[in-house]
């Protein structure tokens, strides 16, 4: 890998990159790409989780134990990926894809369990926390650190994330590690060079309805955001754009694209080279134009490397196997999980729809405006099956109605045209039909399950229970539309959520400003039934605390005197004992006992993020006592049933 900061090295690499594009154009014009065969492929990304369903950063150790070239690293040490061997599109190819996924997943799961951890297929792990996104958890690969460094240099500031769904999230992060929140199930479809532009355009049209049926990532750091939060998260997590004049158009490296293709895949590579700076350089291989002149097929390494740093949701891919070049469309929009059968069903819907629409429509460019297709894609990422989709007849159609009334039939015809067996066709499209008809996508299951647990423990505890239930159903193998909702304390993992302050603290805070009238703090205590009100400045820095006892003293001193408006800063406590969210709960208890206090503000990077009070410990005590008494009753019944009846003789 070359030094991305060296101007001479960058110029040399750029020259080779331009030569690769010229060579690609020559290869297309000379019919040097494979034709007459269609293959499919897939890449499966995974989370590694520990016994309480938290991220387990042990990918390097697991890879060594698995010892299989199909498996490779991802950006974070709590992620893993395996790549399946390509399959020819034969009548049983979907069943074979399913079998290959189960085989490799089983291999990973068995090796992980030997280490006391496990694997999980989910678009975003519900138990992730922002603290997990530190560089300490970045996979120790020089390429990842170089990519992070150059992206920060280009951007010139921290990465910012802002999303609004049912909840709202706004945060800053100092690295590209937020990308590691996402895992996907990427499927590939081989396409001839001659047909590439037409088929790629159809794949773009199919993107919105396919994603609407497949959404599965509504939660990030405990916030309910988009139905497929990965779409916005990935774009913002690697966004290298700087602030510029509103008159100037700027484009993110993660995108749906800007227009239809006219003639060739070359158009995409030309546009990406024109818009996006080089991030990495490396081995360029022999001169591609010289190889072509000798009748050999070049690897186009420079072009493939640059293409690997531009992230279209439908991305063109080049490959050369045994001296034969081919082109693929890589569908990157599908989340990992929730089960293997759901994933293969999503792939089948995409393959069938791309083929079925292509046969019926011809030139998509004449049927619908590209901006409407892109807008529909954003809409379904936000709202899933509840979204509206611009479609070919000029109408805006509800996603569920469009899929059930029209697109499943087109996908069925497409799979027939591809030669897929009737058994596979009906099995996997049947999963899509049942899922869409019920409205139970993975995102809807997660959101409805979380809502059903409202009031049961802390939000962190509910997320842990949610993940435990998700994992159990995933291992059961039934498609997500058949899953019952998760229930509170479905497993024993909830006990572990209380080991750190982050799992116990209250994050829905009511605070006052130092210059507010103290009567506001008193009103908050009365309205919200609380006994402590933090005082923070405009930057959310903790500067004091108003307690119920303080207000009682103020009231006592004002008896018989003329009452004047008293500012909070006149009465607040300034010398405070605080803890961080990663502090152990046992340490927090000892701190409160040692200092004789009933409240601990929780501070991170100087800013207030939560509060821990004696009332929070009372909730735990109630739950623990309940569990203790329930176990005691069960043990008592078991013991009585085990005592043999006396012999009547």
Res. 248: pLDDT tops 60: no
What percent of the chain clears pLDDT 70, i.e. is strictly above it? Answer: 90
pLDDT band at 289; cut points 50, 70, 90: very high
Q: Which of 480, 515, 251, 258 is closest to 384 using CA atoms?
A: 480
Please report the pLDDT score of residue 113 as a whole number: 97
Q: Which domains does the chain have, with CATH numbers?
A: 7-438 (3.30.590.20), 503-618 (3.10.580.10)
- pLDDT (mean) for 583-594: 90
Question: Phi, psi (5° rounding) for residue 535?
Answer: -115, 125
Please report the pLDDT score of residue 359 as a whole number: 84
Q: Which of 142, 224, 165 is closest to 459 using CA atoms?
A: 224
pLDDT band at 441; cut points 50, 70, 90: very high
256 vs 629, more confident:
256
What is the CB-side half-sphere exposure of residue 580 using CA atoms within 13 A? 6
pLDDT band at 500; cut points 50, 70, 90: confident
Please report the pLDDT score of residue 417 as a whole number: 96
Res. 645: pLDDT tops 60: no
CA quadruple 127, 381, 333, 154: dihedral positive or negative? negative
Q: d(Cα 67, Cα 107) in Å, to the nearest integer?
A: 10
Buried b (16+ CB within 10 A) or exposed e, 195-217: ebbbbbbbbbbbbbbbbbbbbbb
Concatenated DSSP letters of 399-425: HHHHIIIIIHHHHHHHHHHHT--HHHH
The rounded mean pLDDT for the chain is: 90
**73 contacts 59 by C-beta, under 8 angstroms:** yes
pLDDT in tens, 145-157: 988 888 888 877 8
pLDDT in tens, 144-191: 998 888 888 887 788 889 999 999 999 988 899 999 999 999 999 999
Res. 297: pLDDT tops 70: yes
The pTM score is: 0.84
Helix axes 459-476, 442-452, angle to 10 degrees: 140
CA quadruple 99, 103, 104, 109: dihedral positive or negative? positive
- pLDDT (mean) for 564-573: 90
**572 contacts 512 by C-beta, under 8 angstroms:** no
Secondary structure of residue 636 in the 3-state scheme: helix
Secondary structure of residue 63 in the 3-state scheme: helix
- Minimum mean pLDDT among 155-164, 410-419, 549-558, 559-568: which range? 559-568
Please report the pLDDT score of residue 245 as a whole number: 43
393-399 contact pairs (CB < 8 A, 24+): 399/208, 399/209, 399/212, 399/213
**81 contacts 43 by C-beta, under 8 angstroms:** yes
240 vs 583, more confident:
583
Please report the pLDDT score of residue 555 as a whole number: 76
Res. 1: pLDDT tops 70: no
pLDDT band at 648; cut points 50, 70, 90: very low
| Cβ-based neighbours of 561, under 8 Å, separated by 6 or more | none
68 vs 13, more confident:
68
Please report the pLDDT score of residue 262 as a whole number: 95
Please report the pLDDT score of residue 434 as a whole number: 98
- pLDDT (mean) for 403-425: 97
Please report the pLDDT score of residue 490 as a whole number: 55
Selection from 149-158, 541-550, 635-644 with the highest mean pLDDT: 541-550
pLDDT band at 607; cut points 50, 70, 90: confident
- Minimum mean pLDDT among 124-138, 139-153, 183-197, 607-621: which range? 607-621
- Minimum mean pLDDT among 240-244, 252-256, 603-607: which range? 240-244
What percent of the chain clears pLDDT 90, i.e. is strictly above it? Answer: 68
265-269 contact pairs (CB < 8 A, 24+): 265/24, 265/28, 265/193, 265/196, 265/197, 265/200, 265/316, 265/327, 266/21, 266/24, 266/25, 266/28, 267/197, 268/200, 268/312, 268/316, 269/21, 269/24, 269/303, 269/307, 269/316
Secondary structure of residue 165 in the 3-state scheme: coil
pLDDT band at 489; cut points 50, 70, 90: low
Please report the pLDDT score of residue 492 as a whole number: 53
Q: d(Cα 505, Cα 511) in Å, to the nearest integer?
A: 15
Q: d(Cα 524, Cα 368) in Å, to the nearest integer?
A: 54
The torsion region of residue 399 among left (phi > 0), alpha (psi -120 to 50) and beta comes to alpha
CA-based Rg of the chain, rounded to a whole angstrom?
Answer: 28
pLDDT in tens, 313-352: 999 999 999 999 999 999 999 999 999 999 999 999 999 9
């Amino acid at each position: 890998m070359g030094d991305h900061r060296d101007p001479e090295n960058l110029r040399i690499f750029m020259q080779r990159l331009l030569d690769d594009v010229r060579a690609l154009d020559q290869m297309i014009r000379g019919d040097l790409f494979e034709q007459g065969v269609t293959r499919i492929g897939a890449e499966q990304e995974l989370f590694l989780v520990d016994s309480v369903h938290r991220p387990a950063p042990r990918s390097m150790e697991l890879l060594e134990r698995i010892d299989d070239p199909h498996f490779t690293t991802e950006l974070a040490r709590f992620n893993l990926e395996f790549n399946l061997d390509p399959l020819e599109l034969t009548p049983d190819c979907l069943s074979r894809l399913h079998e290959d996924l189960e085989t490799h997943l089983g291999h990973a799961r068995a090796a992980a369990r030997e280490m006391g951890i496990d694997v999980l297929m989910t678009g975003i792990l519900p138990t992730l926390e922002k603290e997990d996104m530190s560089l300490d958890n970045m996979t120790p690969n020089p390429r990842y650190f170089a990519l992070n460094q150059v992206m920060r240099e280009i951007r010139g500031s921290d990465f910012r994330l802002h999303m609004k769904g049912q909840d709202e999230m706004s945060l800053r992060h100092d690295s590209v590690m937020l990308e590691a929140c996402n895992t996907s199930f990427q499927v590939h479809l081989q396409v001839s060079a001659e047909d590439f532009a037409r088929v790629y355009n159809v794949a773009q049209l199919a993107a919105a309805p396919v994603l609407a049926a497949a959404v599965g990532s509504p939660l990030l750091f405990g916030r309910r955001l988009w139905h497929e939060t990965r779409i916005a998260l990935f774009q913002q997590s690697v966004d290298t754009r700087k602030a510029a004049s509103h008159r100037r158009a700027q484009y993110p490296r993660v995108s749906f694209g800007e227009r239809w293709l006219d003639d060739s895949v070359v158009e995409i590579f030309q546009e990406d080279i024109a818009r996006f700076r080089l991030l990495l350089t490396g081995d360029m291989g022999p001169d591609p134009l010289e190889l072509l002149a000798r009748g050999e097929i070049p690897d186009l390494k420079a072009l493939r490397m640059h293409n690997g740093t531009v992230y279209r949701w439908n991305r063109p891919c080049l490959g050369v196997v045994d001296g034969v070049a081919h082109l693929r469309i890589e569908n990157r929009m599908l989340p990992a999980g929730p089960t293997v059968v759901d994933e293969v069903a999503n792939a089948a819907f995409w393959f069938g729809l791309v083929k079925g629409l292509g046969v019926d429509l011809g030139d998509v460019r004449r049927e619908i405006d590209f901006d409407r297709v892109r807008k529909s894609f954003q809409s379904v990422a936000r709202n899933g099956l509840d979204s509206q989709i611009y479609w070919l007849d000029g109408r805006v159609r509800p996603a569920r109605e469009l899929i059930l009334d029209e697109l499943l039939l087109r996908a069925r015809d497409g799979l027939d045209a591809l030669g897929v067996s009737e058994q596979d066709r009906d099995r996997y499209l049947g999963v899509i039909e049942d899922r869409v008809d019920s409205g139970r996508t993975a995102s809807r299951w997660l959101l409805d399950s979380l809502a059903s647990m409202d009031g049961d423990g802390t939000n962190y505890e509910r997320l842990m229970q949610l993940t435990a239930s998700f994992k159990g159903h995933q291992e059961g193998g039934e498609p997500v539309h058949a899953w019952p909702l998760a229930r509170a304390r479905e497993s024993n993992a909830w006990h572990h959520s209380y080991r750190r302050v982050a799992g116990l603290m209250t994050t829905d805070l009511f605070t006052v400003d130092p210059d507010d009238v103290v009567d506001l703090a008193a009103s908050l205590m009365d309205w919200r039934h609380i006994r402590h009100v933090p005082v923070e400045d405009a930057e959310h820095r903790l500067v004091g605390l108003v307690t119920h006892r303080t207000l009682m003293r103020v009231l006592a001193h004002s008896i018989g005197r003329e009452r004047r408006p008293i500012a909070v800063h006149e009465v607040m406590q300034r010398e405070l004992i605080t803890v961080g969210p990663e502090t152990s709960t046992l340490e927090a208890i000892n701190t409160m006992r040692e200092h004789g206090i009933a409240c601990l503000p929780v501070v991170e990077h100087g800013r207030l993020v939560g509060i821990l009070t004696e009332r929070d410990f009372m909730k735990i005590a109630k739950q623990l006592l309940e569990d203790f008494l329930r176990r005691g009753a069960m043990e008592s019944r078991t013991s009585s049933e085990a005592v043999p009846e006396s012999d009547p003789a």
